[in-house]
């Protein structure tokens, strides 16, 4: 998911709309904006893309005020029903509060059961709702204390933005799993999941919201505190590999540059005699550029993507279904004919994409196809807010590299090593440093209470 917030700007809701537009890659299932005019918090949410949910300009008339927060949703916990769209807004004894969450709480079920035993009634299935119930029940006076108390009861990943009638609060969990940055525009404060949202509204980047930090914005300005026990940092390395936009800076690292470096490192680890390097667009492009630069091979855009294929694409009748991946990608025969090809992608999850693409490239005349992946094998599911499939569905959880190579029909297959990946982000002491890389090695930094059968790690 992606979150955004702005405090102290006459165009708060409009700028949130733009901010969400820049964060759309972080979630396409739903979105919403809450705004406060100092006396009430109003919310508009809906299923689908930002441009669809906020199509009607009149919506912005119903979101007045100088403070607003927003969310783009990608379902991790709680399914994808409209009810689970955020910001979640509730009224309680002290007024209204809206919250937008990126991440996933690992003990939400437990906390929810306890709350329900004590009379709380939940209206969504999202893990985020437990935070709202906890803060509504808190006996503390100040909003910041209520939020801190609520968050001390949950574990996992959260970059959060809250909005009350008179305040905005931004919080990042003490492990720092998900990114969150602070910026300024026209004297107003801005927070966003990624810097690309600051760029779009021409806000100046100030700094990251620190892991474990809470920032309260109100009429007197900004107040920072660190209300949680310090923890080892576990910034999600997959943000740098795949999730964040390449024009963003996350965890103080420039994403495009890092992706090129993953590609360069991959070329050093898995050289091959070939004629051309081609990326799987769009996510594989920076790594492929790095691979080509390092290996001295020619970089070619041999696969062209149709940018108009939305998530709502409905497959036509059975008889013409064999279009398959061709709907999204097409190979240029003139690029591939008679060539030995290196194909670079950022990750292999189920293996179905690579298999289809390699078949397409061979059909376009390639003589050899060498698959190169700019991350290590993804063998373990994520419990901290990235929607990976269950362990069973991850091809590398149950297959060797040779078996995967055969399945995807490549001549050779090479993945970036864990050590190589860590080196690129500046970690060379044999640990994961300030990062989480659990989906590649199963070393989960924050424990979770229970796993479904599919997720059993053994
Ligand atoms: P596969 O067919 O192996 O399951 O998918 C691999 C492709 O999915 C890669 O091109 C990669 O960029 C993309 N990918 C990796 N992680 C994710 C994710 O969390 N969500 C989506 N939508 N795509 C992903
Ligand atoms: Fe990121 Fe993987 Fe850790 Fe999940 S398990 S937070 S995707 S590095
Ligand atoms: Mg991709």
Active-site residue, 405 included:
no
- The domain spans of the chain are 2-231, 258-308+317-425
Distance 116 CA to ligand 2 centre (A): 30
75, 78, 80, 82 alpha-carbon torsion, rounded to 10°: -120
Distance 191 CA to ligand 3 centre (A): 27
Domain 258-308+317-425 has CATH 3.40.50.2300: no
The answer to whether the CB of 262 is under 6 A from ligand 1 is no
Per the CB < 8 A criterion, the answer to whether 196 and 237 are in contact is no
How many contiguous H segments (helices) and E segments (strands) does the chain have? 16, 24
Rounded CA separation 135/145 (Å): 9
Q: Hey, which residues does 33 pair with through a beta bridge?
A: 44, 70
Rounded CA separation 168/66 (Å): 11
- Hey, is 215 helix, strand or coil? strand
What is the residue whose two structure tokens read 């590609």?
263
Per-residue confidence in pLDDT tens, the chain, 458 aa? 999 999 999 999 999 999 999 999 999 999 999 999 999 999 999 999 999 999 999 999 999 999 999 999 987 655 557 778 999 999 998 999 999 999 999 999 999 999 999 888 888 888 999 999 999 999 999 999 999 999 999 999 999 999 999 999 999 999 999 999 999 999 999 999 999 999 999 999 999 999 999 999 999 999 999 999 999 999 999 999 999 999 999 999 999 999 999 999 999 999 999 999 999 999 999 999 999 999 999 999 999 999 887 654 555 555 555 566 788 899 999 999 999 999 999 999 999 999 999 999 999 999 999 999 999 999 999 999 998 888 999 999 999 999 999 999 999 999 999 999 999 999 999 999 999 999 999 999 999 876 554 444 43
> Atom 11 in ligand 1: which residue has the minimum CA distance?
347
Show the tokens assigned to 424.
Answer: 């690129």
Rounded CA separation 294/284 (Å): 16
pTM of the model: 0.95
Rounded CA separation 343/358 (Å): 8
Q: What ipTM was predicted for this assembly?
A: 0.96
The answer to whether the CB of 349 is under 6 A from ligand 1 is yes
The answer to whether the CB of 382 is under 6 A from ligand 1 is no
> Atom 20 in ligand 1: which residue has the minimum CA distance?
387
E strand or H helix that includes residue 59? helix 58-61
Got the DSSP string for 3-50?
Answer: EEEEES-TTHHHHHHHHHHHTGGG--SEEEEEEE-SS-EEEEEEES-H
Superfamily of domain 2-231: Aminohydrolase, N-terminal nucleophile (Ntn) domain (3.60.20.10)
């Amino acid at each position: 998911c992606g979150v955004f917030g702005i405090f102290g700007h006459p165009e708060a809701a409009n700028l949130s709309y733009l901010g969400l537009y820049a964060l759309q890659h972080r979630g396409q299932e739903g979105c919403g904006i809450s705004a406060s005019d100092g006396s009430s918090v109003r919310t508009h949410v809906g299923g689908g893309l930002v441009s669809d949910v906020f199509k009607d300009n009149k919506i912005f008339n119903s979101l007045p005020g100088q403070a607003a927060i927003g969310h783009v949703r990608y379902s991790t916990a709680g399914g994808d029903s409209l009810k689970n769209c955020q910001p979640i807004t509730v009224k309680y004894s002290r007024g209204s509060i809206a919250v937008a969450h990126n991440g996933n709480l690992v003990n939400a079920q437990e906390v929810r059961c306890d709350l329900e035993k004590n009379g709380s009634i939940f209206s969504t299935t999202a893990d985020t709702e437990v935070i709202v119930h906890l803060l509504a029940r808190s006996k503390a006076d100040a909003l910041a204390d209520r939020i801190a108390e609520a968050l001390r009861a949950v574990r996992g990943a959260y970059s959060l933005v809250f909005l009350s009638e008179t305040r905005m609060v931004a919080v990042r969990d003490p492990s720092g799993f998900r990114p969150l940055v602070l910026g300024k525009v026209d004297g107003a404060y801005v927070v966003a999941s990624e810097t690309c949202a600051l760029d779009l509204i021409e806000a100046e980047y100030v700094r990251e919201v620190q892991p474990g930090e809470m920032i309260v914005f109100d009429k007197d300005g900004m107040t920072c505190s660190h209300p949680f026990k310090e923890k080892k940092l576990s910034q999600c390395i997959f943000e740098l590999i795949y999730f964040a936009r390449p024009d963003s800076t996350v965890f103080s690292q420039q994403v495009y540059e890092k992706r090129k470096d993953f590609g360069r490192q991959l070329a050093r680890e898995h050289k091959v005699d070939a004629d051309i390097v081609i990326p799987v667009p769009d996510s594989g492009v920076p790594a492929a550029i790095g691979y080509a630069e390092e290996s001295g091979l020619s970089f070619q855009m041999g696969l062209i993507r149709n940018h108009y294929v939305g998530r709502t694409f409905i497959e036509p009748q059975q008889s013409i279904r064999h279009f398959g991946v061709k709907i999204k990608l097409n190979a240029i025969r003139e690029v591939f004919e008679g060539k030995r090809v290196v194909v670079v992608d950022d990750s292999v999850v189920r293996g179905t994409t690579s298999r289809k693409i390699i078949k397409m490239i061979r059909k376009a005349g390639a003589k050899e196809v060498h698959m190169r992946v700019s991350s290590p094998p993804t063998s373990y599911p994520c419990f901290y807010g990235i929607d990976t499939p269950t362990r069973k569905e991850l091809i590398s959880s149950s297959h060797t590299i040779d078996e995967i190579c055969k399945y995807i029909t490549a001549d050779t297959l090479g993945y970036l090593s864990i050590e190589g990946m860590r080196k690129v982000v500046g970690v060379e002491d044999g640990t994961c440093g300030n990062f989480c890389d659990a989906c590649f090695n199963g070393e989960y930094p924050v424990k979770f209470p229970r796993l479904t059968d599919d997720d059993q790690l053994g």
